[in-house]
């Protein structure tokens, strides 16, 4: 592909210098809705760039961890204000770079600012405990200290908010950061780093290195001076990094894939349930870890539910999200599109019944982008591939069950455990669902994708490694160590 001379060049941030990669190589980022549109040229970095970033982060750590914690929070608040003031530009960038609809892009910017504000407050809540001693002369307490330099590795589908909440928590806790974004959506991630730079953040507190996971990500995982790595991405990559980190005994947090169940019982409000199934299953073209991918509906209402869902899905406005009124945009790239279309073919072969969609869209405005029609299958059973594997695209599976008990069993019958939801006004069944669902978070009569940053976020089973949570009051656990202190004020015999 010919690169235009006008395309903006993005650089790494190491210490206080925007630098080119040591390899001298770059890569191009284009708009997934129209690949003729070049968005930016990024640095194709290597291990050497990570080594330099870690040195800068180590140097900065010496004073950053000693800064008054509430002062650290002020930098996060100022960066949040910077983003909020430019929210229209950030929204547009998410639309162009990720292919999100206006509503989804706006929601990500709002979530980013809210998360940063909440986490800035954590700098004022880095409390320990005072604990009574058996010795009446001893004062005993615990305090939290920064774990050190942390590596942050993020996915392409939420390139602003996830990076924002990981970095904000790290900074509040007194850590310094080496941040590697996804190569599919690195530009808006750099905008976040720039927001911090504009606050006057000391050099080296946040360092930014773009490039391939196999080199830059790998170097972060292997570097002995990086004391903890927070990763969000696919299960395959998360498990690979986990092995590298386990070998050197560092701390690891991985938030990975989902295969989230959406249970619909006899008494559900089907207008509400179908609206939320579409928002959760096809919003962001189904490319969310919390996406509604399995709708488990009782047979007595399945025909009515599917008919209503089909009608609404076929009325969705799919197109280039920069055009007003677009509800669903493209998928992220050629590889993702092929993988999604392959899952659709597998579902057909395994006797799933195609209700609507099932193809790539290629005519007219779709010709230069990666568009997959919103797709619904029914008669899906737990033994089928699309009932088990994360598709990460606009494909919803409807699974029909005889009873609530069977719905519960099918809901839990996957390796993942991220989000979940149930539609009913039966309090007893809601409570049974809440208590028995194997998921890091759950909902009643709300979309599987719903979350707020003051609540902990994360998955169990195959979705999570480390047992930590992001955002919420427990996010600081990952970035801090406890120190236990015993003091005898008078040092006399
Ligand atoms: P991915 O695993 O391909 O990439 C994630 C990051 O890891 C990228 O920055 C990538 O460059 C890097 N990477 C790749 N190989 C690496 C290696 N060998 N060593 C170190 N780093 C490496 O994931 P993706 O396609 O960017 O994101 C989609 C996935 O993320 C989906 O599975 C989705 O469910 C998951 N996700 C999970 C959550 C959550 O909170 N649970 C949130 C968003 C996305």
491 part of a folded domain: no
449 part of a folded domain: no
Which token pair is 144? 């939290």
| Mean pLDDT for the stretch of residues 316-345 | 97
d(CA 231, ligand 1 centre) in Å: 7
Name the least confident of 1-5, 297-301, 329-333. 1-5
With bands split at pLDDT 50, 70 and 90, how would you rate the model's confidence at 1? low
With bands split at pLDDT 50, 70 and 90, how would you rate the model's confidence at 2? low
Decide if 42 contacts 26 (C-beta within 8 A): yes
> Where residue 319 sits, what CATH number does that domain have?
3.40.309.10
400 part of a folded domain: yes
Backbone phi and psi for residue 421, each to the nearest 5 degrees, phi listed first: -160, 155
Q: Sort 194 into a burial class: Cβ within 10 Å, 0-12 / 13-18 / 19+.
A: middle
Residue of minimum CA distance from atom 43 in ligand 1: 289
450 part of a folded domain: no
Decide if 281 contacts 396 (C-beta within 8 A): yes
**Number of domain units in the chain:** 2
- Per the listing, tokens 């997934």 go with 32
Question: What's the mean pLDDT when you consider all of the chain?
Answer: 97
| Mean pLDDT for the stretch of residues 375-392 | 98
What's the pLDDT score for residue 365?
86
Sorted by sequence, the CB contacts under 8 Å of residue 172 that are 6+ apart come out as: 69, 72, 73, 76, 119, 120, 122, 123, 126, 476, 479
Ligand 1 contact via 264 beta carbon (within 6 Å): no
Model's pTM, two decimal places?
0.97
Quick one: 305 and 200 in the same domain?
Answer: no
Quick one: 360 and 249 in the same domain?
Answer: no
- Per the listing, tokens 């950061």 go with 177
Quick one: 397 and 429 in the same domain?
Answer: yes
Share of the chain above pLDDT 70, in %: 99
Instruction: State the residue range of the domain holding 169.
Output: 12-256+463-483
> Where residue 81 sits, what CATH number does that domain have?
3.40.605.10
Ligand 1 contact via 216 beta carbon (within 6 Å): no
Gap between the terminal Cα atoms of the chain:
79
Q: Which of 52, 122, 255, 389 is catalytic?
A: 255
Q: Point out the ligand 1 atom lying closest to the alpha carbon of residue 390.
A: 32
Residue 293: helix, strand or coil by DSSP?
strand
Decide if 92 contacts 135 (C-beta within 8 A): no
Quick one: 213 and 312 in the same domain?
Answer: no
Which token pair is 193? 């780093």
Q: How far apart are CA 416 and CA 255, in angstroms?
A: 11
User: What is the per-residue pLDDT across 193-252, written as a single tens digit (0 to 9) for each?
Assistant: 999 999 999 999 999 999 999 999 999 999 999 999 999 999 999 999 999 999 999 999
Quick one: 400 and 477 in the same domain?
Answer: no
Residue 314 CB neighbour total at 10 angstroms: 13
Quick one: 411 and 429 in the same domain?
Answer: yes
273 part of a folded domain: yes
493 part of a folded domain: no
Q: Sort 214 into a burial class: Cβ within 10 Å, 0-12 / 13-18 / 19+.
A: exposed
Quick one: 474 and 332 in the same domain?
Answer: no
377 part of a folded domain: yes
Q: Sort 224 into a burial class: Cβ within 10 Å, 0-12 / 13-18 / 19+.
A: exposed
Quick one: 44 and 150 in the same domain?
Answer: yes
Quick one: 41 and 63 in the same domain?
Answer: yes
Quick one: 403 and 426 in the same domain?
Answer: yes
| Mean pLDDT for the stretch of residues 43-69 | 98
Least Cα distance to 380 among 395, 398, 396, 392 occurs for 398
Strands 443-444 and 421-423: parallel
Q: How far apart are CA 458 and CA 438, in angstroms?
A: 12
| Mean pLDDT for the stretch of residues 169-178 | 98
255 is an active site residue: yes
User: What is the per-residue pLDDT across 397-442, written as a single tens digit (0 to 9) for each?
Assistant: 999 999 999 999 999 999 999 999 999 999 999 999 999 999 999 9
Handedness of CA 445, 451, 456, 460 (dihedral sign): positive
- In angstroms, the Cα distances linking 170 to 71, 163, 166, 231, 240 are 14, 11, 6, 13, 23
d(CA 425, ligand 1 centre) in Å: 37
Q: Is residue 3 predicted with pLDDT exceeding 70?
A: no
Quick one: 143 and 247 in the same domain?
Answer: yes
490 part of a folded domain: no
DSSP 357-387: --SEE-SGGGTTS-EE--EEEES--TTSHHH
Least Cα distance to 398 among 319, 486, 295, 483 occurs for 295
Quick one: 332 and 478 in the same domain?
Answer: no
Measured N-to-C along each axis, helices 186-198 and 87-98 cross at an angle, to the nearest 10 degrees, of 160
């Amino acid at each position: 592909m010919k690169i235009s001379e006008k395309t903006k060049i993005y650089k790494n941030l190491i210490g206080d210098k925007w630098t080119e990669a040591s390899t001298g190589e770059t890569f191009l980022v284009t708009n997934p809705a129209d690949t003729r549109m070049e968005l930016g040229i990024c640095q194709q970095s290597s291990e050497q760039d990570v080594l330099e970033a870690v040195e800068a982060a180590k140097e900065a750590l010496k004073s950053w961890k000693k800064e008054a914690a509430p002062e650290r929070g002020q930098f996060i608040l100022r960066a949040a204000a910077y983003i909020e003031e430019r929210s229209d530009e950030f929204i547009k960038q998410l639309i162009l770079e990720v292919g999100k609809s206006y509503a989804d892009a706006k929601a990500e910017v709002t979530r980013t600012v809210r998360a940063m504000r909440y986490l800035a407050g954590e700098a004022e809540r880095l409390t320990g405990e005072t604990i009574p001693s058996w010795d009446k002369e001893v004062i005993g307490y615990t305090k939290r200290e920064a774990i050190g330099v942390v590596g942050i590795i993020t996915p392409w589908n939420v390139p602003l908010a996830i990076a924002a909440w990981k970095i904000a928590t790290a900074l509040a806790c007194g850590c310094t950061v080496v941040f590697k974004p996804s190569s599919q959506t690195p530009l808006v991630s750099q905008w976040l780093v720039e927001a911090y730079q504009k606050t006057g953040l000391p050099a080296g507190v946040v360092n930014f290195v773009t490039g391939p996971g196999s080199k830059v990500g790998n170097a972060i995982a292997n570097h002995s001076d990086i004391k903890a790595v927070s990763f969000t991405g696919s299960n395959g990559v998360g498990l690979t990094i986990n092995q590298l980190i386990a070998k050197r005994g560092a701390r690891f947090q991985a938030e990975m894939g989902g295969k989230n169940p959406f249970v619909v019982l006899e008494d559900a409000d089907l207008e509400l349930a179908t609206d939320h199934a579409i928002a959760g299953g096809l919003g962001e073209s189904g490319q969310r870890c919390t996406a509604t991918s399995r709708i488990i509906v009782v047979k007595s209402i399945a025909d009515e539910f599917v008919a209503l869902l089909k009608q609404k899905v076929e009325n969705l406005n799919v197109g280039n999200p920069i055009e007003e009124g677009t509800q669903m945009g493209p998928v992220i790239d050629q590889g993702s599109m092929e993988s999604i279309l392959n899952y659709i073919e597998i579902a057909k072969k395994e006797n799933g019944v195609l209700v609507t969609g099932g193809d790539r869209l290629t005519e007219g405005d779709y010709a230069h982008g990666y568009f997959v029609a919103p797709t619904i299958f029914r008669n899906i059973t737990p033994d089928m591939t699309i009932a088990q594997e994360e598709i990460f695209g606009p494909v919803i599976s409807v699974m029909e069950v005889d009873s609530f008990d069977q719905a519960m069993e099918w809901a839990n019958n996957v390796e993942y455990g991220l989000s979940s939801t149930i539609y009913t006004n039966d309090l007893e069944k809601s409570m049974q669902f809440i208590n028995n669902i194997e998921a890091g978070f759950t909902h009643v009569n709300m979309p599987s994708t719903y979350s707020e940053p003051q609540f902990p976020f994360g998955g169990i089973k195959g979705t999570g490694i480390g047992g930590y949570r992001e955002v919420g009051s427990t996010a600081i656990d990952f970035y801090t160590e406890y120190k236990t202190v015993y003091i005898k004020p008078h040092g006399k015999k």
